[in-house]
Structure 1
Amino acid sequence: MTTLLISDLHLQPDAPEITEGFLRWLQERAQGANALYILGDLFEAWIGDDLLDLAESDPTGNALLAARVATALKRLSDNGTDIYLMHGNRDFLLGERFARAAGAQLLADPAVVAIDGQSVLLMHGDSLCTRDEAYMRFRAQARHPAWQQQVLAMPILERIALAKQLRDQSGEATSNKADDIMDVTPDEVVRVMREHGVTTLIHGHTHRPAVHELTIDERPATRMVLGDWRPTEGWEIVADEGGQPQLNRFPLS
């Protein structure tokens, strides 16, 4: 009984090494796993599930990429692995249609799940970065159903342009922010773990892979942070039956 957790792959046509590495990982590493949790930002951007209708007519290559990833995930699901998808700050418009195509279930953020009999809190991690006030305002807007419906009603080419604009703005804003602002707020970590009654939290988003030991209400607790995938390496957390979850870095090539 093996559970795998990954996040922040940021798959995009401009990074084919990551895509090919992920497809190999699904075929070689994830086969036989009991469950796979993808904790957000599977894609660098997602403009709506109707992207799947474009196939090879999409000049950006995103539709073909989405179809390849969905097919590979569905194959893993058909072989017996339960797959769960959580929204990230880049692919928050992922919907039920893509999930069905991938043989996956959409997972709320946050979510408490049982891993090897232990309650574990799973999050993407962006909601923990409360010191980044500008981003938190955007997050509240982007997760609002009315805003999402308005965006999804736009012609698809306009959505493609909007996604590029948002990525450019995010990159510019990030370059001007202090490192600590873009990391989690320690008090918020304690608050959400206490609220959900857990001693283990797993998340991504910050691209700062590490295992943090802390104390909450005089009890030992653990925060595990997944890393982002790059052309040369990927990150996973592996939870085997009877053992402690392990954070692993591995080569993609």
Structure 2
Amino acid sequence: MTAEMDPVQRLVNDMLHEIFMTLGKGDPCDLARASCVSRGWHEFVISNGLSKQLCLKMFPQLYGVDRVTESCSFKSDGETGSSNTKEWDVLEREHRVYGFLSHCARSIVDRECISDAISASSTDNFPEEGINNTLEIRDRVGRIASYWSSKGENNPAVPETLIYKLVGDLGVITEIDIQPFKAFFQRGSPIYSAKSVRFQMGYSKASLDLDSVDQSCHISLNDKFVWTYTSPEFPMAQARELFAEIQVARACSLYRRIPSC
């Protein structure tokens, strides 16, 4: 389509911006399709970062994302005059990645994110006090207490680690809820809470099959994961309360490498 035949080229930039953003609200893929109509549309959508703007409007939790990367690089097609510049390459990358996120995230519903418990760094009495108990909301099932207990360390600075598998390949974590266990069966009903907690998001390396991990073998799996996000440490009170609204870096974490090719 030539500029003479394209009516959009006759509109002012503010009006063009509204048209394209409205187009993308129904389906983010429509914005990507529009960018393929002509060179002019392609340049306008990418140079103004419309895919990124649309994604952030849909999911403001992603405002804290520092940068985006792709698992493989794309080469410019050389058709656009500025396509060989570093700035244009960054804009094209953001166009692809944020467009992908918008498309995938529309199918995400507000629900529990954990699908399975993978392993604990230690367990006092396995499986009675195993990590699977942490998936149970109740503190007792029937007359049996439901909790996870580590073996304990003489040095309180030694950390314990719990690893979980999430429900999907792509997700946005906005809140994590933790409730310390109150040992109602012990004298004084003591509450066992951590001094502090922190969270990591990432993905397993190709050499690790999560379904084959033996929970009874308490070995460190940290080197089997690529951690793409680590939160600050959050102190915990020794109280039997649901510690909610622990915001994970405000922007949340995407827990998978985004496939780009």
Q: Which range, TM-score by smaller chain?
A: under 0.3
Whichever structure has more strand as a proportion of its residues is 1
Q: Which has the higher contact order (CA 8 A, sep 6+)?
A: 1
**Which has the larger Rg?**
2
TM normalised by structure 2 equals 0.22
Whichever structure has more helix as a proportion of its residues is 1
